[in-house]
Amino acid sequence: MFKKTGVILLSSALLLTGGSLAFGPEQGKAKKTPPPQANQKVENVIFMVPDGYSASYATNYRWYKGEETVLDSMLVGMMRTHSANSEVTDSAAAGTAMATGEKTNNGMISMSPEGEELDTILEAAEERKLSTGLVATSTITHATPAVFASHVDDRNNEAAIAPQILENDVDVILGGGKEIFLPESKDGKQEKNLIQQAKDDGYIFVEDSKALSNVKKEEDKLLGLFAEGPMAPELDREETKQPSLSEMTDAAINVLKKDKDGFFLMVEGSQIDWAGHAHDAAWAMADSEAFEEAVQAAVEFAKKDKNTLVVVAADHDTGGMSVGGYGEYDANLEILRDVTATGDFMAEALNEEQSNAKEVVKKYAEIDLTEEEISQIRNAEEPANAINEVISKRALVGWTSTEHTGTDVPLYAFGPQADLFAGLHNNTDLPHLFAEALKIKFE
Amino acid sequence: MFKKTGVILLSSALLLTGGSLAFGPEQGKAKKTPPPQANQKVENVIFMVPDGYSASYATNYRWYKGEETVLDSMLVGMMRTHSANSEVTDSAAAGTAMATGEKTNNGMISMSPEGEELDTILEAAEERKLSTGLVATSTITHATPAVFASHVDDRNNEAAIAPQILENDVDVILGGGKEIFLPESKDGKQEKNLIQQAKDDGYIFVEDSKALSNVKKEEDKLLGLFAEGPMAPELDREETKQPSLSEMTDAAINVLKKDKDGFFLMVEGSQIDWAGHAHDAAWAMADSEAFEEAVQAAVEFAKKDKNTLVVVAADHDTGGMSVGGYGEYDANLEILRDVTATGDFMAEALNEEQSNAKEVVKKYAEIDLTEEEISQIRNAEEPANAINEVISKRALVGWTSTEHTGTDVPLYAFGPQADLFAGLHNNTDLPHLFAEALKIKFE
A50 forms bridges with which residues in the sheet?
A: A269
pLDDT tens-place string over residues B285-331:
999 999 999 999 999 999 999 999 999 999 999 999 999 999 999 99
- CB contact set of A132 (below 8 Å; sequence gap of 6+): A122, A125, A126, A148, A149, A169, A170, A171, A172, A256, A263, A264, A265
B56 min Cα distance to partner chain A (Å)? 5
Interface predicted TM-score of the whole assembly (ipTM), two decimals: 0.93
Tell which phi-psi region holds residue A319, choosing left (phi > 0), alpha (psi between -120 and 50) or beta: left
- What residue type is B108 in one-letter code? M
State yes or no: pLDDT of B68 exceeds 70. yes
pLDDT tens series, chain A, 443 aa: 554 443 433 333 333 333 333 343 333 344 444 544 556 899 999 999 999 999 999 999 999 999 999 999 999 999 999 999 999 999 999 999 999 999 999 999 999 999 999 999 999 999 999 999 999 999 999 999 999 999 999 999 999 999 999 999 999 999 999 999 999 777 668 999 999 999 999 999 999 999 999 999 999 999 999 999 999 999 988 888 999 999 999 999 999 999 999 999 999 999 999 999 999 999 999 999 999 999 999 999 999 999 999 999 999 999 999 999 999 999 999 999 999 999 999 999 999 999 999 999 999 999 999 999 999 999 999 999 999 999 999 999 999 999 999 999 999 999 999 999 999 999 999 999 999 999 999 98
Cβ-contact B407, B314 below 8 angstroms: no
Mean pLDDT of B137-163: 97
- pLDDT of the residue at A40: 82
Share of chain B above pLDDT 90, in %: 88
CB contact under 8 A, A408 and B403: no
B-proximal residues of A, 172-211, CB under 8 Å: none
- Predicted local distance difference test score (pLDDT) of residue B2: 59
Question: Measured between beta carbons, which residues in chain B are less than 8 angstroms from residue A29?
Answer: 429, 432
B326 and A88 within 8 Å at the Cβ level: the answer is no
Query: Considering Cα of B344, then B346, then B349, then B352, what sign does the dihedral take?
Result: negative
Query: According to the CATH classification, is domain A44-321+401-438 in 3.40.720.10?
Result: yes
> Are A326 and B400 an interchain contact pair (Cβ–Cβ within 8 Å)?
yes
| Rounded Cα distance, B12 and B134, in Å | 43
Q: Which residue of A has its CA nearest to B24?
A: A84
Q: Tell whether A119 is within 8 A of chain B (Cβ).
A: no
Q: Does A2 reach chain B within 8 Å, measured CB to CB? A: yes
The answer to whether the Cβ–Cβ distance between A76 and B398 falls below 8 Å is no
Q: Which of B8, B23, B56, B438 to mutate to test the interface with A (most CBs of A within 10 A)?
A: B56
Residue B85 has pLDDT above 60, yes or no: yes
Q: Is B105 on the interface with A (CB under 8 A)?
A: no
Q: In this complex, which of B104, B325, B432 lies closest to A401 when CB atoms are compared?
A: B325
- Indicate the domain borders of chain A: 44-321+401-438, 333-395
pLDDT in tens, B219-262: 999 999 999 999 999 998 888 899 999 999 999 999 999 999 99
Residues 34-93 of A with CB under 8 A from B: 36, 54-56, 58-59, 63, 72-73, 75-78, 80, 84-90
Query: A402 and B63: CB-CB below 8 Å?
Result: no
CA atoms within 13 A on the CB side of A152: 22
Catalytic sites of A, residue numbers: 91
A171 to chain B, minimum CA–CA distance in Å?
Answer: 27
Cα distance between residue B420 and residue B102, in whole Å: 19
For residue B59, the chain A residues in CB contact (below 8 A) are 80, 406-408
Nearest C-alpha neighbor of B63 from the set B1, B106, B13, B142? B1
Give the B window 284-303 contacts with A, CB below 8 Å.
none
- Helix-then-strand count for chain B, H and E: 16, 14
Q: What is the pLDDT of residue B12?
A: 36
**Res B25: pLDDT:** 34
Give the residue on B whose Cα is nearest the Cα of A66: B87
- Among A21, A31, A32, A438, most B C-beta atoms within 10 A, so best to mutate, is A31
Contact with chain A for residue B423, Cβ under 8 A: yes
Check CB contact under 8 Å for A80 and B22: yes
**pLDDT at residue A437, rounded to an integer:** 97
In this structure, the number of other CB atoms found within 10 A of the CB of residue A21 comes to 15
* Rounded Cα gap, residues B99 and B102, in angstroms: 8
Q: Using a CB-CB distance cutoff of 8 angstroms, which residues of chain B are in contact with residue A406?
A: 59, 322-324, 331
CB contact under 8 A, A424 and B28: no
The whole-chain average pLDDT of chain B stands at 92
User: Which residues of B fall within a CB distance of 8 Å from A408?
Assistant: 55, 58-59, 410
Q: How high is the pLDDT of residue A5?
A: 42
Query: Are the Cβ atoms of B422 and A30 closer than 8 angstroms?
Result: no
Put simply, whether B146 touches A (Cβ < 8 Å) is no
Q: Which of B91, B110, B150, B246 is catalytic?
A: B91
Quick check: A331 and B88 CB within 8 A? Answer: yes
Q: What are phi and psi of A179, to 5 degrees?
A: -60, -25
Q: What is the pLDDT of residue B1?
A: 58
Out of A400, A424, A425, the one facing B398 most closely (by C-beta) is A400
- B311 CB neighbours in chain A (<8 A) are none
Does B86 sit within 8 Å of A55, measured CB to CB? no
Residue A325 touches partner B, C-beta closer than 8 Å: yes
Q: How far apart, in Å, are the Cα atoms of A357 and each of A181, A332, B319, B358?
A: 39, 22, 32, 45
> What pLDDT score does B90 carry?
98
Q: What are the distances in angstroms from CA A362 to CA A65, A357, B36?
A: 22, 8, 54
Percent of all residues in chain B with a pLDDT value above 70, rounded to a whole number:
91
CB distance B320–A320 less than 8 Å?
A: yes
Q: Collect all residues of chain B within an 8 Å Cβ-Cβ radius of residue A77.
A: 75-77
Confidence (pLDDT) at A24: 38
DSSP 8-state secondary structure symbol assigned to residue B23: T
Interface of B with A in 370-399 (CB under 8 A): 398-399
Lowest-pLDDT range, A146-155, A220-229, B17-26, B77-86?
B17-26
Query: Is B410 close to A78, i.e. CB distance below 8 A?
Result: yes
Instruction: Return phi, psi of residue B229, to 5°.
Output: -110, -135
